[in-house]
Chain A
Amino acid sequence: MKIICVNCPMGCPMEVQVSGQEISVSGNACSRGAAYAKTECVNPVRMVATTVKLKNAAIAALPVKTAKPVPKGKIFDCVKALKGVEVCAPISIGDIIVPNCAGTGVDIVATKNVGFAG
Chain B
Amino acid sequence: MRDVDVAIIGGGPAGLAAALGAKKAGADKVLVIERDRELGGILNQCIHNGFGLHTFKEELTGPEYSARFIKEVLSGDIETSLGTMVLELGSDRVLKAVSASGIQEIRAKAVVLSMGCRERPRGALNIPGSRPSGIMTAGTAQKFVNIDGLMPGREAVILGSGDIGLIMARRLALEGAHVAAVAELMPHSSGLKRNIVQCLDDFGIPLMLSHTVVGIFGKDRLEGVSIAQVDSSLRPVPGTEKLFPCDTLLLSVGLIPENELSKMAGVKLSPDTGGPIVNESFETSAPGVFACGNALHVHDLVDFVSEEAQEAGENAAAYAFGEAFSGSSAEVVPGNGVRYVMPFSINPKKVKNNMTLRLRVTAEKRNAALVVKMDGEQVLKRKKMVFAPGEMETISLSGELFAKRPNISRIEVSLEDK
Binding site for B on A (CB under 8 A): 4-11, 29, 46-51, 53-54, 58-61, 63, 65, 72, 75-76, 79, 93, 111-113
Q: Are B64 and A93 within 8 A (Cβ)?
A: yes
Q: 23 A-B pairs, CB-CB below 8 angstroms?
A: A5-B193, A6-B193, A8-B193, A8-B386, A9-B193, A9-B387, A47-B49, A47-B59, A50-B171, A51-B145, A51-B146, A51-B149, A54-B149, A58-B38, A61-B146, A61-B147, A61-B148, A63-B47, A75-B174, A75-B202, A76-B174, A112-B63, A112-B67
User: How far does the Cβ of A21 sit from chain B's closest Cβ, in whole Å?
Assistant: 26
Per-residue A-contact encoding for B61-73, CB less than 8 Å = 1, 0 else: 1011001000000
Q: Are A9 and B390 within 8 A (Cβ)?
A: yes
- Contact residues of A: prevailing secondary structure: loop
Tally the A-B contacts, defined by beta carbons under 8 Å.
Answer: 85
A50–B174 alpha-carbon span in the complex (Å): 8
**Does B404 interact with chain A (Cβ within 8 Å)?**
no
User: Which B28-59 residues have a C-beta within 8 angstroms of A?
Assistant: 37-38, 44, 47-49, 59
Per-residue A-contact encoding for B183-209, CB less than 8 Å = 1, 0 else: 000000000111011100010000000
Q: Are A29 and B67 within 8 A (Cβ)?
A: no
Beyond A65-B47, A75-B202, 9 additional contacts (C-beta under 8 Å) are A6-B197, A9-B386, A11-B193, A46-B202, A54-B149, A63-B61, A79-B175, A93-B67, A112-B63
Also in contact, A60 and B148, with CB within 8 A (given A9-B390, A46-B198): yes
| Neighbour of A79 across the interface among B47, B149, B174, CB < 8 A | B174
- Contact residues of B: prevailing secondary structure: mixed
> Which B residues lie within 8 Å of A60 (CB)?
147-150
| Neighbour of B388 across the interface among A9, A51, A72, A113, CB < 8 A | A9
- Nearest neighbor of B65 in chain A, beta-carbon distance: A111
Q: Are A49 and B61 within 8 A (Cβ)?
A: yes
Q: Are A49 and B64 within 8 A (Cβ)?
A: no
A93–B385 alpha-carbon span in the complex (Å): 39
Binding site for A on B (CB under 8 A): 37-38, 44, 47-49, 59-61, 63-64, 67, 145-150, 171, 174-175, 192-194, 196-198, 202, 364, 366, 385-388, 390-391
> Which A residues lie within 8 Å of B147 (CB)?
59-61
> Which B residues lie within 8 Å of A7 (CB)?
193-194
Q: Are A49 and B198 within 8 A (Cβ)?
A: no
User: How far does the Cβ of A96 sit from chain B's closest Cβ, in whole Å?
Assistant: 15
- Nearest neighbor of B364 in chain A, beta-carbon distance: A9
> Which B residues lie within 8 Å of A65 (CB)?
47, 49, 61
User: How far does the Cβ of B314 sit from chain A's closest Cβ, in whole Å?
Assistant: 27
> Which B residues lie within 8 Å of A47 (CB)?
49, 59
> Which B residues lie within 8 Å of A59 (CB)?
147-148
Which of B48, B196, B390 is packed against the most chain A CB atoms within 10 Å? B48
Q: Are A111 and B59 within 8 A (Cβ)?
A: no
Which of B145, B192, B193, B196 is packed against the most chain A CB atoms within 10 Å? B193
> Which A residues lie within 8 Å of B391 (CB)?
9
Q: Are B386 and A49 within 8 A (Cβ)?
A: no
A93–B70 alpha-carbon span in the complex (Å): 13
- Nearest neighbor of B44 in chain A, beta-carbon distance: A112
